[in-house]
Structure 1
Amino acid sequence: MATAGKTVGMPLGERLALIAVILLAILWLLPLVWVTGVSLKNNTELVVNPGAVFSAPYTIQNYIDLTKTSALGTWFRNSLIVSLSHTVLVLIVSCLAGYGFARIEFPGRNAVFIFSLVGLAIPGQAIIVPLHSFFNAFDLHNTYAALIIPGIATPFGIFLMTAYFRAIPAEIEEAARLDNASRFKIFWAIALPLAVPAMATLGIFTFLGTWNDYLWPLISATRPEMYTLTVGLAATQTNIDQSEGLGYLMAQSVFAGLPMLILYIFFQKYVVRAVAGAAIR
């Protein structure tokens, strides 16, 4: 009742903005609802009546068929190892570089920082050929190293962490300096805990991008046992027995996207704090 009263008491502009946000949220959710609904329908029924997705009965047979893919567990494990390892390395490099650019004076600092940001203008597809040649020269294809290492020095991560560390008042670190704390101790014990919202945001975006990456794993991992989930599920579509059926295809999509949804649910508050520029605690 109190919430309804507050809504009624809102100025007209705020109420219209709220309604617009709700409508956009519903519009954004509709494709997800449709994909989930299709994944729970019988494939034969969908062929006869495409509108059957909005009516019972529903079934989990598509998910049962999905688990029968013998290599599914291996592909899921590969994606988890690659995504987690890549995310951790990106956070380490970005936090160290960001703190260095934000707090440490050294010759050419601004020039190096600008040079690192130039990478934002270079699409990943433009470096596929030299990247492939480099890892091929060291015979690293079909290894976790080849799937994890590319992109750990991400310009976006360095820019985000530099901006966040610069927003932290320098006075917070003064007391630690008076106690003769080392630069690394100040970074580890003071600056890093304050940067958790930015780290969570960067971590989620990095994990999401790595988990959904298809092009580089497709090029680097040519053996089925090294496929990531995206490449492995796409490979099953070459098998007519597994690829026929829209419901089965949508079940694959839901299965591949579920870890991302769970991850975001747990860390969404940090993303909101970082994007909104909440006060540093």
Structure 2
Amino acid sequence: MSLSSARSASGTASRVRAGRMDSHQFGDRLLLGLVILLAILWTVPLVWVLGLSFKPNDVLMHSTGGILSAPFTLKNYADILASSNVFTWILNSIIVSGGQTVLTLVVCSLAGYGFARTEFPFKGVIFALVLAGLAVPEQAIVIPLFKMFADINLHNTYAALILPRLAVPFGVFLMTQYFRAVPREIEEAALLDNASRLKIFLVVVLPLSIPAQATLGIYTFLASWNDYLWPLISASKPEMFTLTVGLASTQMNFAQSEGIGFLMAQAIFAGLPILILYLFFQRHIVTAVAGTTVR
């Protein structure tokens, strides 16, 4: 092959590689643009709600447009804080959501490790029954739960608000699958050192499941904080209301009583703690999805 032919072939190969690189860059930019567009579309309703929460209600009675133009007011948030029970409702939500999260992590971790690493009679049948719980709608068990806790006089207590939500089939399934992915060699090495099964679980296996624990914990806390149906049924005393039920109780006749701005301020007020929680733990969610451990 002559020198000129070699140079021509090399130039052709370079142009092909450059073309492929340009096509990859174009595809990446197109994908980035679509993601940005979807993020903007997702954010628009949130910005709209936030803007309305700072608008006077008498202005919103005429038009809900112009959320970025004056006048603005903090009266909607002041009206929320003026309620004598609002901080009690916040405390109740923190206790209920925190209690559910901690106890759910304990129950699901123990159950998941048991299904993943131990052998016992009817293990497959019991695990199938647990998974069948995913198909049972919440509304189907409300009446039996209400009668059960009414018979033992536990309504209007933290126990009644927390205990029914500890049966989380999804959490058991998630932890079981995560523990099954942990190499058995790690546990076998601990067994050679005469470590008990409980010690292996607490010292060796449990720290490796931090991503799954964080994901399940955030999911549980979010579901508990936003739960409305069961607290509405179980808690009849205002001092035992959670934040969602308490804020809803202040709405006498939808938007006509307090105004749209007041309703939007309630939505922001109730959702802000969840947003803060997610910002603190979003790294754990990403690592759990990626299948890695947090360092």
TM-score of the superposed pair, with normalisation by structure 1:
0.93
Match of 1:95 among 99, 109, 113: 109
Where does 1:219-230 land on structure 2 (aligned, <5 Å)?
Answer: 219-230=233-244
- Contact 2:52 / 2:64 at 8 angstroms: preserved in 1? no
Letter in 2 for 1:83: S
Letter in 2 for 1:182: S
Runs (5+) with no aligned partner, structure 1: 1-6
The answer for the alignment partner of 1:107 in structure 2 is: 121
Instruction: Point out the structure with max Rg over C-alpha.
Output: 2
1:9 Cα deviation (Å)? 8.3
Q: Which moved more, 1:90-99 or 1:37-46?
A: 37-46
Question: Does 1:198 find its partner at 2:212?
Answer: yes
Tell me the matched-pair count.
275
The answer for the alignment partner of 1:145 in structure 2 is: 159
Match of 1:125 among 116, 139, 144: 139
Question: Does 1:56 find its partner at 2:76?
Answer: no
The answer for the alignment partner of 2:271 in structure 1 is: 257
- SS for the counterpart of 1:151 is helix
Where does 1:156-235 land on structure 2 (aligned, <5 Å)?
Answer: 156-235=170-249
Letter in 1 for 2:82: K
1:133 Cα deviation (Å)? 0.6
- SS for the counterpart of 2:30 is helix
> Cα distance 1:8–1:262, how it changes in 2: closer, same or farther (>3 A)?
farther
> Cα distance 1:243–1:73, how it changes in 2: closer, same or farther (>3 A)?
farther
> Cα distance 1:39–1:163, how it changes in 2: closer, same or farther (>3 A)?
same
Which whole-Å CA distance do the structure 2 matches of 1:176 and 1:56 have between them?
66
TM-score of the superposed pair, with normalisation by structure 2:
0.89
Which whole-Å CA distance do the structure 1 matches of 2:30 and 2:277 have between them?
32
Letter in 2 for 1:184: L
Match of 2:60 among 46, 63, 81: 46
Q: What per-residue deviation string (whole Å, max 9, x for no partner) do you get for residues 26-69 of structure 1?
A: 11111111111111111112222321213234222211121101
- Contact 1:160 / 1:198 at 8 angstroms: preserved in 2? yes
Q: Which moved more, 1:16-25 or 1:28-37?
A: 16-25
Letter in 1 for 2:268: V
1:111 Cα deviation (Å)? 1.5
Letter in 2 for 1:234: A
Question: Does 1:27 find its partner at 2:32?
Answer: no
Runs (5+) with no aligned partner, structure 2: 1-20
- Contact 2:255 / 2:263 at 8 angstroms: preserved in 1? no
- Contact 1:79 / 1:211 at 8 angstroms: preserved in 2? yes
Letter in 1 for 2:233: I
- Contact 1:82 / 1:144 at 8 angstroms: preserved in 2? yes
Match of 1:15 among 1, 26, 29: 29
